[in-house]
């Protein structure tokens, strides 16, 4: 299958470093970041797993659970985890799915034939508490993922779910936001009583709502 933004991410059960892993049971009512790796003992992915382990408190502060996936088996993951702790200074502190039969990779469309017929591409999926796919990013093998950008995107998704706003280019938490076009000026006056700046009628800039 090919998942699109807004699709329901299907449940699955697979082996992992914490035993049998069921996505829905494990996720509960949390947001989820699932990020895939082509195989164990790859250098860029080693740095990424260490980076996510170090950032885990930031994900938790946003109500987000993180889980990795690689197509190697659990015993291989355990050996890789030793390398991650030794070289990155942070032990693996979240599950790593052992997708040895590629069943999850195929379900989530993580194998791209033009990249490889057997190994996953390096994809990030952000899944909301309703199990809807809200973001997908796919990186080339040579480029490490920017997890600060993924946190920034989650901040935007959570903010714009609560308020009728969108976030502009390069937005950071606390910065000005944009009133969405579906809200007319009369409704906007009620929602944003302190007013807004409008360099054009369709670009209405307002302070970030609390």
Residue in 104, 88, 10, 76 with CA at minimum distance from that of residue 44 = 88
Total residue length of the chain: 210
Can 26 be counted among the known catalytic residues? no
The one catalytic residue in 27, 45, 110, 188 is: 45
Tell me the DSSP string of 74-103: HHHHHHHHHHHHHHHSS---S-EEE-TT-H
Token pair, residue 189, equals: 């006056």
Euclidean distance between CA atoms 138 and 81, whole angstroms: 23
Euclidean distance between CA atoms 49 and 39, whole angstroms: 12
Active centre residues (catalytic): 45
């Amino acid at each position: 299958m090919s998942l699109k933004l807004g699709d329901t991410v299907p449940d699955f059960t697979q082996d992992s470093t914490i035993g049998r892993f069921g996505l829905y049971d494990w996720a509960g009512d949390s947001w989820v970041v699932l990020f895939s790796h082509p195989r164990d003992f790859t250098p860029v992915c080693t740095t990424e797993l260490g980076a996510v382990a170090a950032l885990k408190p930031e994900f938790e502060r946003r109500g987000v659970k993180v889980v990795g996936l690689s197509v190697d088996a659990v015993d291989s993951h355990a050996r890789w985890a030793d390398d991650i702790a030794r070289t990155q200074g942070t032990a693996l502190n979240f599950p790593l799915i052992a997708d040895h039969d590629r069943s999850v990779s195929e379900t989530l469309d993580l194998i791209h034939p033009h990249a490889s017929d057997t190994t996953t591409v390096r994809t990030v999926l952000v899944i909301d508490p309703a199990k809807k796919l809200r973001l997908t990013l796919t990186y080339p093998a040579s480029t490490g993922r920017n997890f600060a950008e993924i946190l920034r995107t989650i901040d935007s998704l959570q903010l714009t779910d609560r308020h009728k706003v969108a976030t502009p280019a390069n937005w950071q938490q606390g910065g000005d936001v944009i009133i969405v076009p579906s809200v007319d000026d009369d409704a906007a006056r009620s929602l944003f009583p302190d007013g807004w700046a409008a360099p054009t009628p369709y670009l209405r800039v307002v302070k970030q709502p609390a």
